[in-house]
Amino acid sequence: MYEKNTMASLRDAYNLTLLSLGELDKRVVVLEADTSALSKSTLFASRFPDRFVNVGVAEQDMIGTAAGLAAEGMIPFVSGMAVFITLRSLEQIRTSVAYANLNVKIVASYAGLSAGPNGPTHFAIEDLAVINAIPGMVILAPADANAISLALIEAYKYYGPVYIRSSRVEVPVVWEKSSRLQIGTAIEWKTGKDLTLMVTGTLLHLTLEAACRLESNGISTGVLEFHTLKPIDVNAIIKSSKETGAIVTIEEHNIYGGLGSIVSQIVTANYPCWVKNIGIRDNFVETGDYKDLLSICGITVEDIVNTSISLLCARRCKHEP
């Protein structure tokens, strides 16, 4: 585990936690598609070479092999780049793993825009949408290095297919080492009366900073983190809709099919309120530095603050005579 407020890599945390799980349980096996240096399963590979399989650049074969191992009682952790592990092997995830409800854990690194200099062919901005559409899948999107360690442990305990979203970049550690992650339960970081910021994944630190800025402007702002996209905490969303009547969602994903779409669907069906979505606006993003790409896509602290104020102004104007 990592100290709070330090910069740390989710991939490094994955490496260490995977090793611990391998030492705990001989059923844990790891499969890679020639990406162990990228997704960081190197410690497990060195310590347990008989339980580590590199299938080569063949994601479809990797998922099929993992399904077979799970059917025989093993607990396979499948690592790879998010864009390839989801889009290339979607049929295998759907039919071989989810349909059979097999105990396969898919850990997808380089999610969102974190592939940066590798360009749009390597960005995973559709993965949540496609995995969310598959029945029976659990989706975890941890915020930092401590959170992914806890997510991996919960995924290990849970029987069934789990998709865990990871990132290439280092991010500030927000979660305490003693924190508890429960699948399907959102984390309320702040309560608010005027507005709720809802975030998933590694943008949590930006969202918390934006909330502080909004508070300094006299806007009572709540923050809800959804480390679990599926099953999502429906009650937490409805509660926020009733209490604040205004929601801004923040995600490193296409605005269609991710957190924004899920939240909008839930509030529309249960307790309609004002909602704005921050994310990638249904376009292919150019190659560049990660932070520059977030800025280009309008996913910064300033964007969260400005979008929130704009939403509240629109709501106020609508209700004033």
Task: Kindly report, residue by residue over 198-219, the tens digit of the pLDDT.
Answer: 999 999 999 999 999 999 999 9
Q: Note whether 7-172 and 187-319 share their fold.
A: yes
Q: Give φ, ψ of 25 to 5 degrees.
A: -140, 120
Name the helix (H) or strand (E) containing 199.
strand 195-199
Res 35: pLDDT:
85
Query: What is the enclosing helix (H) or strand (E) of 163?
Result: strand 162-165
pLDDT of residue 38: 81
Domain boundaries, the chain: 7-172, 187-319
Angle between helices 234-244 and 259-270 (to 10 degrees): 70
117 compared with 1, residue with greater pLDDT: 117
CA-CA-CA-CA torsion for 197, 203, 204, 210, nearest 10 degrees? -50
Residue 319 has pLDDT above 80, yes or no: no
> What class, spelled out in words, does domain 187-319 have in CATH?
alpha beta
Asked if 233 and 94 touch (Cβ cutoff 8 Å), the reply is no
Instruction: Assign domain 7-172 to its CATH architecture.
Output: 3-Layer(aba) Sandwich (3.40)
Res. 178 pLDDT band, cuts 50 70 90? confident
Give, in order, the Cα–Cα distances in Å from 289 to each of 111, 117, 194, 284.
Answer: 15, 6, 34, 15
Express each pLDDT in 73-127 by its tens digit.
999 999 999 999 999 999 999 999 999 999 999 999 999 999 999 999 999 999 9
Average pLDDT on 249-268 reads 98
- At 43 the pLDDT is 93
Residue 320 — pLDDT band, cuts 50, 70, 90? low
Q: Please report the sign of the dihedral spanned by the C-alpha atoms of residue 129, residue 87, residue 98, residue 251.
A: negative
- Beta carbons of 79 and 148 less than 8 angstroms apart: no
Predicted pLDDT of residue 321? 41
pLDDT tens per residue across span 273-306:
999 999 999 999 999 999 999 999 999 999 999 9
CB atoms within 10 A of CB 91: 11
**Predicted TM-score (pTM) above 0.95:** yes
